[in-house]
Amino acid sequence: MTETDYKALSELAQDIAREAGQLALDYKAKGLTQVDTKSSEVDMVTEADKACEKLIVERLTAARPEDGLKGEEGADKPSTSGITWHIDPIDGTTNYLYGLPFAPSLGAAIGDEPVAGAIYAPFSDEMFDAYKGGGSRLNGETIRVNEIDRLDLALVSSGLYYDADVRTKQAQQLVNVVAHIRDLRRGGAASLDLCSVAAGRTDAYYEIGINSWDIAAGMLIAAEAGATIKTSFEANWNKGTQMIVAAPGIADALSELVGDPPELN
């Protein structure tokens, strides 16, 4: 595939992410009536998550029927084109329910390599996109990570797993981290955490226990904006790996500070 092909994938992802984001807002305005739980009582899924994934799958299948699909709410189709879409219809479902920032995230990957993606934040009407070799954008304007080389002046974001025991271990890890950085942010949506690094709104992000659909688009957006990605795409979503995405000047220092990830149950 050429850079032009990757750009077309990003444009398709943007159109669909925006449509899914608007559908999520429509459901929110009507009032959500079906809130179910998944891996724990605090891991929630709504009728909007399912409807948005259905919409995204329909649009992608119509446009690129040979592509594979891997969605948080169950979409699972092998690829015959070499491209697989990793889909989070509403990344930050808890945020969505509480009226905090959320985003549909669509990332196209060739094997272990994201090559195009879009993340749309409806509350702020912000579209983040990237394609391989083409840089990253926020509403069409190029974005870059911060120039920073002091970890003690870095604004770092992270997230917590849905399991209480794992959260406790993450909190113990955090006690050491917070003593050596400027401050911490907990955004609640991995995709938007990655976009924040790309746009220079934070200096780094780390988390464990996330999924391919949370990070496929965001990892590419961060990388194309100049971020250092300390572990591979597939390693990051194989649960136990510590994902670290940072401005280059602090990536090694943060990786050393965060250390080995806590065991996931």
Residues making contact with ligand LIP (CB under 6 A): 72, 88, 91-94, 159-160, 162, 188-190, 207, 210, 214
CB of 5 to ligand LIP, least distance (A): 28
Query: Cβ closer to ligand LIP: 72 or 129?
Result: 72
In terms of CB distance, is 49 or 134 closer to ligand LIP? Answer: 49
| Shortest distance, position 228 Cβ to ligand LIP, whole Å | 19
Closest contact distance (angstroms) between CB of 108 and ligand LIP is 19
Tell me whether residue 6 or residue 233 sits nearer to ligand LIP (CB atom): 233
Three-state DSSP at 104 gives: strand
Number of Cβ within 10 Å of residue 150's Cβ equals 12
Question: CA 50 to CA 36: how far, in whole Å?
Answer: 11
| Closest to ligand LIP by CB, 64 or 75 | 75
CA distance 24 to 232: 31
What residues contact residue 68 under an 8 Å CB cut-off, 6+ apart? 77, 78, 79, 80, 81, 83, 84, 85
Distances (CA, A) of 44 to 23, 150, 231: 18, 37, 28
Nearest alpha-carbon partner for 54 in 12, 84, 81, 19? 19
Residue 265 CB, nearest distance to ligand LIP (Å)? 15
Q: State the minimum distance, in angstroms, from the CB of residue 210 to ligand LIP.
A: 6
Task: Please identify the residue of the shown chain whose CB is closest to the bound ligand LIP.
Answer: 159
Q: Using CA atoms, how far apart are residues 78 and 200, in angstroms rounded to an integer? A: 36
Q: 134 or 236, CB closer to ligand LIP? A: 236
CA distance 61 to 12: 12
Q: How far is the CB of 72 from ligand LIP (least distance, A)?
A: 6
Nearer to ligand LIP, 64 or 160 (CB): 160
